[in-house]
Structure 1
Amino acid sequence: MLLNASMLPRIIGFDVPPLHEHVDSSADEAITVLLDSEPGAHWAELFVIKCEALASQLSLAEVRIEGSKIYFFGSISDARELADAVISIVNVLNDQLMREGNDAASRDRGS
């Protein structure tokens, strides 16, 4: 199946609550990444795997996906870095899935 970019979720914005120096995920609001569409189960699974693979602050940021939103916790000092990491993961994942889908489509046409 040939994938096109419109089939993959894109970041359309962020909702950033007031941030604190120290994060308390039980009391603080999460930073919300707004996607233009709800990602499929496969995309969401790969996204979480990529977050865990970083094993950096993203694993401590408690990243989760619900519907067309990605949530994570960040402090005043690391929110920008965490947001950049999420943006990077979304872009890399979309590029990877586009390549894989297009490669598979090329193989199917060649058979």
Structure 2
Amino acid sequence: MTNTKIFEMSFATVYPLYVKKAERKGRTKTEVDQIICWLTGFTQQQLMAQLQAEHSFREFFAVAPEINPDTKLIKGVVCGVRVEEIEDPLMQKIRYLDKLIDELAKGKTMEKILRK
């Protein structure tokens, strides 16, 4: 996995795509935000500040308060790659987020998505 262009992409640019994907499947922006906050440890206010700052994915995850320890429970395939086997820590975090948004769009309950 050598494509690192996404590392420098603005998180604020991709965020509306996450929301749009969720809303197309009858889910909400609030649920997307809840997933992002669960994964990163950001509060809702901190997440909004990150969106306004237009940080890259690299910067976004670098300043995240704490990646949820339950990410080890996230399993499955995103973009043809098993998320639990991704070696690059930053790419793995990005793909964890992709996987969680996919699960939301596929209709999983928030309880299952957040590994409760």
Query: TM-score, with normalisation over the residues of structure 2?
Result: 0.31
Higher strand share: 1
Higher helix share: 2
Query: Which protein shows a greater Rg?
Result: 1
